[in-house]
Amino acid sequence: MVVSTATISLQEQYIKKDIPLLQKLVPFEFNYALLKGRGNYVGIRRFNDFVAENPKSNAIDDEFVEWLNESETGDISELDFTLPGEIWQEINSDGEDCLRQRCPNFSDCFYFGAREAAEHADILVVNHNLLLVDAASGGNVLPKYDLLIIDEAHHLNDIATEAFSSQISSRGLKRLRNKATKQLNAPIKLLEDIEFDSHALFHRLRNDYAFNKKRVRQSIKEAEPMLMSLHVLRGWIESQDYENVLDVDLAKEKLKLKAKAVISTIDRYIKCLDLLKLPDSNWVIYVEQSTNPNHENFSVTASPLDVSGFIADNLLSKAGLHSTVCMSATLATAGDDPFDYFKTSVGVIGPVVQDKFQSPFDYKHQSMLFLPGRKSYNLPNPNDAGYITEASRVIEQLIELSHGRAFILFTSRSALFRAFEIISKRLPYEARRQGEMPRNKLLEWFKVTPNAVLFGTSSFWEGVSVDGDQLSLVVIDRIPFQAPDDPIYEARCERLKEGGEKSWFGDLALPYAITRLKQGVGRLIRTQSDKGVVAILDPRLTEKAYGQKIIECLPPMSVTHNLQDLPSFFNVNSLNS
């Protein structure tokens, strides 16, 4: 059986808590293992080569070497410090740069060790990305499995979209030129051509599509010379036989692998540039500029418009697979068939066994949903410029009633910054916002700080759990509709508008918002003894017809429009202890 999750935290929960518990409960023995994508493991041979080739580099310090000597898994997530991404890319396990059985480190290899354990496991825990990579390779990555459980299944479509996207970036091209020069000794003239063409291409894109994630709808003629230059470099690399290389210590073999890895990068760039040159209605192209002035980068991404067919054909209908269970706390949305949105997203057509299961929590008595009316609380439309200022007033009142102990969740970074700026200095409690420190550290800070208030966006809407009174209030600024100018969402809406059968709002925008909102609301009640308040400030929830549909999809909390009803849901006894 394969169990797949979207997040590392849920994988850890399965491995450390759920499966060991299951082992105690069932009357038979079984074993289990965790397998991650190979890029998560240190590649010992690549690490040794990197150290030998860069003796003066101080990127690898004693702390890392000490960890490496002691680690049994070589899994980067064990590190409690970060390694620069570009260094990690040089020393992790890489399928295109692997000597396999001929590798001198094969017997100690972390990745092949994890694969060996996976081969013998009755239950194998993986992530969606690896699951999809296996499906795309026709089952060459994971051992054969009969049963599949996809937890956090609401993420499957997004992760598939990302996994099958290709990207070219200014920084990536610079890295490619460096590798081709240093490792393969490619002719300078070829690399200068690539540099020249990439300047022309990114100059054009920067002029026309600067800053935000912007969709490219027309053909970009500057992609053509860039394509030609990359084809020439690819041809040159392929023509090399490396006969002059002194074949000591597998040097020739290693060089061929490096050449193969560079070719595969070029192929990904070519795929993206082909689509930039000749747009295809089944693909969405968009450009992005990094906002970090120290790491200037401009990228072009080509994403498939619809991955549902791929998921259905290659994953859910995989040869030998008996059954698949898809589950999540947020799969059901509104409509005659609450699972229609999810089933469409993974290409399931026809009958399936489906059900909603009762939560073990008594939401009516454990929680209150506060929906402030527009008039009573003087709230404008969420799209009006003054909305966050007015909403901040209500947020402050709520924090006062709850004595801090609150998550304040926003749908955009700009709203988060604005509200934090207005509220945080006036609060009598410690407040922090997302971005001030890494997510896990911020969560640890929240758990141990009395009356803490945490302002967050996307990464705090799900996958974080705070039990007990420490989290007594969750405030959500507005209904989390997808940003209308998100390139993939925009293209999918357009496709639905053209098709006529389904509605872009009812079948895409609304179920997306409901799924997201359920995730945010789900932060509050984590155990049967938790108590607290969820406040959703968006007046559209009480005014629009779709607002009622959304409320019906949320956990069955008591509902109020008055702040006076809230205090009984905040446990203040624990404050004095």
Q: Which residues of the chain form contacts with ligand SF4 (CB under 6 A)? A: 43-46, 93, 98-100, 103, 105-106, 109, 111-112
Beta carbons within 10 angstroms of residue 353's beta carbon: 6
Q: Which is nearer to ligand SF4, 143 or 468 (CB)?
A: 143
Q: How many CA atoms lie within 13 A of 115 on its CB side?
A: 19
User: 43-75: string of b/e by CB count within 10 Å (b at 16+)?
Assistant: bbbbbebbeeeeeeeeebeeebeebbeeeebbb
| Euclidean distance between CA atoms 453 and 440, whole angstroms | 15
Query: Which lies closer to ligand SF4 via its Cβ, residue 103 or residue 416?
Result: 103
DSSP track, 108-161 = G-HHHHHHHHHHT-SEEEEEHHHHHHHHHTTS-SSPP-SEEEESSGGGHHHHHH
Nearer to ligand SF4, 44 or 331 (CB): 44
Closest to ligand SF4 by CB, 43 or 456: 43
SS (H, E, C) 288-338: EECCCCCCCCEEEEEEECCCHHHHHHHHHCCCCCCEEEECCCCCCCCCCCC
Q: Closest separation between CB of residue 35 and ligand SF4, Å?
A: 14
Give kind and range of the element (H or E) at residue 475.
strand 473-476
Q: Check if the beta carbon of residue 41 is closer than 8 Å to that of residue 113.
A: no
Which one, of 521, 493, 487, lies nearest residue 506 by Cα? Answer: 493
Q: How far is the CB of 536 from ligand SF4 (least distance, A)?
A: 48
Q: Please give the distance of CA 532 from its chain centroid, rounded to a whole number.
A: 29
Work out how close the CB of 213 gets to ligand SF4 at its nearest, in angstroms, rounded to a whole number: 35
Minimum distance of ligand SF4 from residue 255's CB (angstroms): 14
Pairwise CA distance, residues 173 & 153, whole Å: 35
Q: Measured from the CB atom, is 103 or 223 closer to ligand SF4?
A: 103
C-alpha distances in Å from residue 360, one per residue of 406, 452, 504: 23, 27, 34
Minimal distance, residue 257 CB to ligand SF4, in Å: 8
Q: For residues 133 and 272, which CB has a smaller minimum distance to ligand SF4 in the complex?
A: 133
Nearer to ligand SF4, 77 or 440 (CB): 77
**Distance between CA atoms of 486 and 158, rounded to whole angstroms?**
13
Supply the minimum distance, in Å, between the C-beta of residue 99 and ligand SF4. Answer: 5
Closest separation in Å from C-beta 36 to ligand SF4:
13
Our CB check for ligand SF4 shows the closer of 254 and 433 to be 254
